[in-house]
C-alpha cells in the first residue's frame, strides 16, 4: 500500500467545514498538537500492532497509524465524525467502526484481534473509568494499552498505598498490570481546551489472574473502599454468608488488621484476601 500523508487542519476549522460542533455530552475535546500525537503513536508502535483506537475523533492519532500502514480498528460513537473518518481513511489500513466501545461484546474484539492487540485512545473524562474497567475485562484480547486521561485520574491509577489518591482502580491495575505514567499533556493542546491537564499512561496486563479471581477481587475491594472513612471491619459484605465475623477472619488470614483503613492495604494483600474469600463467594 503506498505511503499516504494526511494534511493536518486545526480542529476548529475542520469542524466548521464539516458543520459539526464538539458534543459536551460525549466529552469531546480534539487533540491538535501533532507532537503529542506522534509521541502517543510512538509508544503504541513500540507495544506492537494491531491497534484498537477508542474514540478517534478527527483522526489526530489515526492519521499516523494510516500513514504508517498499521492495521487499526477505530471505534467512534459520533455518527458525523464516523462518516468523515470513513471517507478520510478509505483504502487505508484503518477500519472505522461506528459504535459505542462499551456496548460491544467480548466476541467482537476476539474476532477482530485473534492474536491480541494494543488499545489506544484519548479517553473522554466522563467515561474513562468505565472504559478502563472494560479493558480489564478484555485484558487477554487487548493485553496492551496507551491511554490519555485526565491528569488527576492518572495520579489515582498509579498511586501507591497510603494516600488519598489510592483507591479501587489503583488496586485493580496494580494487581492486573504494569502501569506507568509517560508524560503530561497541557490543556492548551486540545480544542476546545478542557479545564484540566491530561497525562498519558502505558499499560501492560499480566497473565495469571483468572476472571473468577478478578470477580472476587472486585467484590472485596469495593467493600473495603465503600466506607472509606471507617475501618475495614465496618465494610458491607453481603457476598459472605457469615457477615462481618467471617470478613474479619479473612482479613486476619490475609495479614490485614481489621482496624485498619482500606487505603493502607497493599494490592498484594487485597489479592490474598480475594483468594481466601473466593471459595465462599
pLDDT surpasses 90 at 49: yes
DSSP 246: H
Terminal alpha carbon distance of the chain: 53
Q: Among residues 153, 138, 136, which one has the least CA distance to residue 27? A: 153
Q: Among residues 32, 68, 80, 7, which one has the least CA distance to residue 193? A: 32
**CA torsion angle for 278, 135, 159, 187 (degrees, to 10)?**
-160
The reported pLDDT for the residue numbered 252 is 92
Q: Hey, where are the domains in the chain?
A: 11-205, 211-280
The reported pLDDT for the residue numbered 40 is 98
d(CA 150, CA 152): 5
- Per-residue pLDDT of 60-112, as tens digits, reads 999 999 999 999 999 999 999 999 999 999 999 999 999 999 999 999 999 99
pLDDT surpasses 90 at 229: no
Q: What is the mean pLDDT of residues 244-272?
A: 94
* Cis preceding-peptide flag for 153 (omega within 30 of 0): no
The reported pLDDT for the residue numbered 243 is 92
pLDDT surpasses 80 at 221: yes
- Per-residue pLDDT of 109-143, as tens digits, reads 999 999 999 999 999 888 999 999 999 999 999 99
DSSP for 83-151 reads: HHHHHHTTTSSEEEEES-GGGS-HHHHHHH-TT--EEEEE--GGGHHHHHHHHHHTTTTS-EEEEEEEH
- Per-residue pLDDT of 145-170, as tens digits, reads 999 999 999 999 999 999 999 999 99
Let me know if domain 11-205 sits in CATH 1.10.3720.10.
no
Let me know if domain 211-280 sits in CATH 1.10.540.10.
no
Confidence of residue 7 (pLDDT cuts 50, 70, 90): confident
> How many other CB atoms are found less than 10 A from the CB of residue 81?
24
The reported pLDDT for the residue numbered 21 is 80
In sequence order, which residues have a C-beta less than 8 Å from that of residue 24 and are 6 or more positions away?
none
Number of H helices, E strands in the chain: 11, 9
pLDDT surpasses 70 at 2: no
On the question of a common fold for 11-205 and 211-280, the answer reads no
Taking 3-state DSSP, the helix, strand and coil percentages for the chain, each rounded to the nearest 5, stand at 45, 15, 35
How many Cα atoms sit within 13 Å of 38 on the Cβ side?
A: 4
Could you give the 3-state DSSP secondary structure of residue 262? helix
Sign of torsion, CA 26 29 34 36? negative
d(CA 62, CA 98): 15
How much is the mean pLDDT over the chain? 94
Confidence of residue 56 (pLDDT cuts 50, 70, 90): very high
d(CA 64, CA 244): 54
Amino acid at each position: 500500500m503506498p505511503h499516504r500523508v494526511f494534511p493536518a487542519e486545526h480542529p476548529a476549522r475542520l469542524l466548521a467545514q464539516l458543520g459539526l460542533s464538539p458534543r459536551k455530552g460525549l466529552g469531546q475535546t480534539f487533540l491538535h498538537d501533532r507532537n503529542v500525537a506522534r509521541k502517543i503513536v510512538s509508544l503504541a508502535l513500540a507495544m506492537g500492532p494491531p491497534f484498537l483506537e477508542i474514540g478517534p475523533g478527527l483522526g489526530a492519532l489515526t492519521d499516523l497509524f494510516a500513514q504508517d500502514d498499521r492495521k487499526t480498528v477505530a471505534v467512534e460513537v459520533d455518527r458525523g465524525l464516523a462518516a468523515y473518518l470513513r471517507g478520510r481513511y478509505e483504502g487505508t489500513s484503518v477500519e472505522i467502526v461506528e459504535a459505542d466501545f462499551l456496548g460491544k461484546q467480548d466476541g467482537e474484539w476476539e474476532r477482530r484481534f485473534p492474536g491480541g492487540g494494543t488499545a489506544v485512545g484519548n479517553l473522554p473524562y466522563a467515561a474513562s473509568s468505565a472504559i478502563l474497567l472494560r479493558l480489564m475485562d478484555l485484558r487477554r484480547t487487548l493485553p496492551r494499552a496507551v491511554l490519555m486521561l485526565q491528569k488527576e485520574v492518572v495520579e489515582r491509577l498509579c498511586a501507591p498505598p497510603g494516600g488519598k489518591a489510592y483507591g479501587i482502580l489503583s488496586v485493580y491495575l496494580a494487581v492486573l498490570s504494569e502501569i506507568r505514567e509517560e508524560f503530561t499533556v497541557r490543556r492548551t493542546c486540545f480544542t476546545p481546551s478542557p479545564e484540566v491537564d491530561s497525562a498519558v499512561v502505558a499499560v501492560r496486563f499480566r497473565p495469571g489472574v483468572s476472571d473468577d479471581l478478578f470477580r472476587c477481587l472486585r467484590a472485596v475491594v469495593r467493600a473495603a473502599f465503600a466506607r472509606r472513612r471507617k475501618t475495614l471491619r465496618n465494610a458491607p459484605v453481603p457476598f459472605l454468608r457469615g457477615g462481618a465475623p467471617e470478613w474479619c477472619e479473612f482479613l486476619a488470614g490475609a495479614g490485614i488488621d481489621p482496624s485498619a483503613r482500606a487505603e493502607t492495604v497493599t494490592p498484594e494483600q487485597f489479592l490474598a484476601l480475594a483468594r481466601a474469600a473466593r471459595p465462599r463467594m
